[in-house]
Structure 1
Amino acid sequence: MPLRVLRFAGLEPWRTRGESGSMADREHVFATERRALLAEGNRLKAHYAEVGFTAGGKAAIYRVFDLHDRYEELLPESVVARCPFTGSAVPWPIDSVDLDGWYWDYDNPARRLRGRVLPTWLAMGGAVRLAEPVASAPFFCMPGPDAPYVVPRLLAHPQVRAVVAQLPIGPHTGWAVTYFGTRRHLGVDLENLWGTRRYEVYYDNGCWKGWAGRQQHTGDYDFDLGPWLDSGKLLWIAPDDSGATLREGLPGCPYVDLGGTRKLQMIHDGKITRY
């Protein structure tokens, strides 16, 4: 039985898990335990792949479930956006230590599910400018292209606006692009959640409903952010702005004309493929 099927068996997707404590405390605990969790879990996953669903394999994979749970609980939150309609900050549990964390496993991401989001929150895509060499991990990581972009099918809707923000991911530079709207049902596919093959679907009140997905293709993206910034449809947060202040307009925005290949990126065992 595939790991992904087992992993979600019996999971209560509306329940958001987490530990109390300040953000700094959570970041410290996560950084302290992360390496050991990944080392043991990757070893046990390799053992399960070798022996299958035998007695030893079952013991290994059930231990992996526990390790995933601990990893998810420890994920610290980073502010990735601020809603242009309500002014509310959007903290998100994310592994910003590096791309070798299970959070970035494209096929089986270990993520603390959001039982509820802002009623105006729609989707969050992202991009990463890689600093080589990249850390090796035994899974496929697809962090997006190497420059920030918007999805015109979403942003062209009159009731949708987006926010781009920069955040470091270990030695790499990441950009989260979050979409907000005054109505939830747009009549089009949303954007896959950053680093995964699917996106979460929510009811009008922001409660979790389920998953859907769309095949990623750079033909769906617009890397020319200038016109969107000029129109006020795209807002931005300056790098290292702890207050996450929303800024509007093209002048001074550091996220335009960044260069790059504009291709999707896939990482496996420290090797990068762009296509």
Structure 2
Amino acid sequence: MNDGTFESERRNLLDAGNRIVELYKSAPDTEEGDAIIYDAFEYFERYVELLPEVVISRCPFTRATVRWPMDDVDLDGWYWEYDKPHRRRLSSVPRTWLAMGGAVRLAEPIAPAPFTRRPGPDVPYVLPPILNRPTVRAVVTQIAIGPHTGWATTYYSTTRDLGIPLENTWGTDRYDTYDESGSWRGWDEHTWADSDHDFDLRPWLNIGKLLWIAPDDPTATLREGVADCPYLDLGGTRRRQRIDGGTVTRY
């Protein structure tokens, strides 16, 4: 839960840290530059420490609620920096947890940031190579990120070793790996092709492979089937999005 501390400190942390990073760019890979960037670490660490735990899902096997430390204030936070995300690494996850991808419907204003962000396409999707595995089910959840609408799609399995790559964690270029007990063991990376993304959720809902949580549901109740599901037939480009500064490119 966000007790307000994160929101009250977030802007000052980002402004101070970003100023230091800009100074570092004038003297990279030098003794002076190393001293400058070291000063930014305290801002990065405080930001990560304050990240609020957001309910992102519920396991369809154990029914356990899954919370994730994330920046849901806006996309200009260091949490969303694509290749150097500042996030709290989870030392363990639920035993059944596999991976989390995501999508974002952008809304104005697009807050500028001095780093690249890749929040996913503008419509929720699933990855059939993962979801087709007999032990796997997934859950889609809507999450407000400032003025934007996000969707987390979380994959669960009764066995962890699927023999295929998983999905890079929402907004980043890598994913953490865990052992059968859910303990962290390292990281890997894999970028699935556009053709591997399926934006038609209806068949997956019909066969029970995909479940959903209603928007703004404080109980995070798992729901099955297509009846009343708000994540079907959404308009959008269904293309990946890249944000540089405040400019959005879809590709």
The offset of 1:24, in angstroms, is 3.9
**Residue in structure 2 matching 1:118, options 89, 94, 104:** 94
**Residue in structure 1 matching 2:6, options 30, 37, 54:** 30
**Residue in structure 1 matching 2:230, options 254, 259, 264:** 254
The runs of 5 or more residues in structure 1 that have no matched partner are 1-22
**What is the CA–CA distance in structure 2 between the aligned matches of 1:134 and 1:148, rounded to whole Å?**
20
The offset of 1:50, in angstroms, is 1.1
Please identify, of 51-60 and 157-166, the stretch whose mean Cα deviation from structure 2 is larger.
Answer: 51-60
Who is 2:241 aligned against?
A: 265
**What is the CA–CA distance in structure 2 between the aligned matches of 1:146 and 1:66, rounded to whole Å?**
34
Cα displacement string for residues 202-227 of structure 1 (whole angstroms, at most 9, x for unaligned residues)? 01100001111012432211000000
**What is the CA–CA distance in structure 2 between the aligned matches of 1:174 and 1:139, rounded to whole Å?**
20
1:143 maps to a residue whose letter is P
Instruction: Work out whether residues 2 and 53 of structure 2, in 8 Å CA contact, stay in contact via their aligned partners in 1.
Output: no
Aligned pairs for 1:220-239 (under 5 A) are 220-239=196-215
**What is the CA–CA distance in structure 1 between the aligned matches of 2:30 and 2:202, rounded to whole Å?**
56
Who is 1:205 aligned against?
A: 181
Relative to the length of structure 1, the TM-score reads 0.90
Cα displacement string for residues 30-60 of structure 1 (whole angstroms, at most 9, x for unaligned residues)? 0011001100111111111111133432222
**What is the CA–CA distance in structure 2 between the aligned matches of 1:126 and 1:54, rounded to whole Å?**
38
**Residue in structure 1 matching 2:158, options 182, 187, 192:** 182
Who is 2:66 aligned against?
A: 90
Instruction: Work out whether residues 109 and 147 of structure 2, in 8 Å CA contact, stay in contact via their aligned partners in 1.
Output: no
Who is 2:135 aligned against?
A: 159
Instruction: Work out whether residues 162 and 179 of structure 1, in 8 Å CA contact, stay in contact via their aligned partners in 2.
Output: yes
Percent identical across equivalent pairs?
59
The offset of 1:135, in angstroms, is 0.5
**What is the CA–CA distance in structure 2 between the aligned matches of 1:101 and 1:217, rounded to whole Å?**
27
Cα displacement string for residues 137-162 of structure 1 (whole angstroms, at most 9, x for unaligned residues)? 01000000000000000100110000
Matched residue count: 251
Aligned pairs for 1:73-84 (under 5 A) are 73-84=49-60
**Residue in structure 2 matching 1:108, options 84, 88, 94:** 84
**What is the CA–CA distance in structure 2 between the aligned matches of 1:131 and 1:118, rounded to whole Å?**
33
**What is the CA–CA distance in structure 1 between the aligned matches of 2:238 and 2:2, rounded to whole Å?**
34
The offset of 1:187, in angstroms, is 0.8
1:136 maps to a residue whose letter is P
Who is 1:65 aligned against?
A: 41
The runs of 5 or more residues in structure 2 that have no matched partner are none
Instruction: Work out whether residues 82 and 171 of structure 2, in 8 Å CA contact, stay in contact via their aligned partners in 1.
Output: yes
Who is 2:118 aligned against?
A: 142
Relative to the length of structure 2, the TM-score reads 0.98
Cα displacement string for residues 71-99 of structure 1 (whole angstroms, at most 9, x for unaligned residues)? 00000011000000001000000100000
Instruction: Work out whether residues 218 and 262 of structure 1, in 8 Å CA contact, stay in contact via their aligned partners in 2.
Output: no
Superposed CA RMSD in Å reads 0.9
